[in-house]
Structure 1
């Protein structure tokens, strides 16, 4: 059937009709809020490149989490800035580490919100890389020791679980880390704790503001030798397949906006929950344009989040989570 019998505009003529036939529904239930925690007390330090986001001490962070819980946000993910960094990133797996302290405090005050923890070494190592660095015996250049790093990641995951984390989210992109972490969690009695794997995490230019927020910029080189090449799509299917085989419960694409095709590919190929990380650069670009009056932040942000959901994401990690929860209620 074609025009004039078929007129698609009939179903667009007012908001109530548009609501009835809307295909994609963005909800507060889809959202996870990333938060940054640092040592100290009474600290709420603005992150210049991410307006509205802060490095917070544990006491301030706990109040923020209570507010997020009150507006219906189902979960948060924590990133820590330790007081001291070293080559082994020892604060990452210390029972007295900044993330461990934050989890304990949150669980006393906000019992109904999920606490996810980023499991990686970059925030805790003195060199800023995501694992244990060793010198290549032939060239003398430093490279990540994948298998040594697995041991440290497993210790970090178990430490987070001991502190009360609800979901473990490894973001390091080492080969075999999901299986190693799953075995360690199971061995220590944490069989019930899910793993949200950063499975298709790309070496991206969109991470700049996050690295300021988490103080995790590499001192030398970059992360291209372990994060995915932005040109590759089939490789993402291989990464996800391996993570699922090793025990991942949720798989993630990061970044989200420039990789909507990857989200869709995963949704079509795997019957698994798909998370997508709407990363700092995607957030900051919109913030900067909105501050100049070039775009409407609310409209554009909700359009982006809806696009990520439409592509196939079940869970969206986004710095707009708090704002979006309020906008969606309006």
Structure 2
């Protein structure tokens, strides 16, 4: 048992020294010059620069997830909750439209929304419509936002329908966290480990980026109700649980008991072998946890594709631009 512990420690130390030596060789000019002197010119030219794909995945995930997708996720979550509670300062009613024209245009948008949604029959036999996809949710949100901030209809019937559609939208876009708590735990565990090793590391820029990456993963793992229902129909599960399954399988190894019989004698617990297996499991769990923790932004990108790729709200798209793209052709056709 002691020999195994010594071997494991030596293995870890050798790996650490190897990594440090490799990093030093890449940054120390003297090492580079020595390498260039001992390497033939033809061999140097024939060797192409290798790509460290793991480093590309780590760095690319943080860059794309933290600096590009994270603001979109935050903005989308905020806009989904704030629909119907707009600030009056944001109202921009077109001056060239009369009150009747604004009511008619609001009715036109509501009809477009109704045609876009999915019809179904409830338990009482009533014909209803609902949201079943991200594209429908985004279309409905843009339409209702245009009515509330640009048209402000006064017709009681139109206002009642707008309120009804708002209730449908808020109910169907309610989000719930369906990500992996293992990934969150591993990512947070990295910060705890860094703080134990050197408290000064927690004040670095990486810590801030990593915390944003954790927040990005949490928000991107929030699934809308319509998507959650579809997932239950297709997979009969609220989450895929791949990482959780791997970690659970590793921790299940601690429950294994080992027995040994010496020279045909009675079976006895082999505590030394169990201790060896436990140490191997601990090393494996730590390695997997670190690997998973550093990939938190990468998993966030995957969840963004699943939960937000068709429903995210573009902050640069104005309500009037949306209406022009969706309904101007209909107006031209009606006039002609």
TM-score of Structure 1 vs Structure 2, range by shorter chain? under 0.3
Q: Which of the two has greater helix per residue? A: 2
Of the two, which has the highest radius of gyration? 2
Flag the structure with higher strand content.
1
Higher relative contact order (CA 8 A, sep 6+): 2
Taking structure 2 as the reference length, the TM-score comes to 0.22
Q: TM-score, with normalisation over the residues of structure 1?
A: 0.22
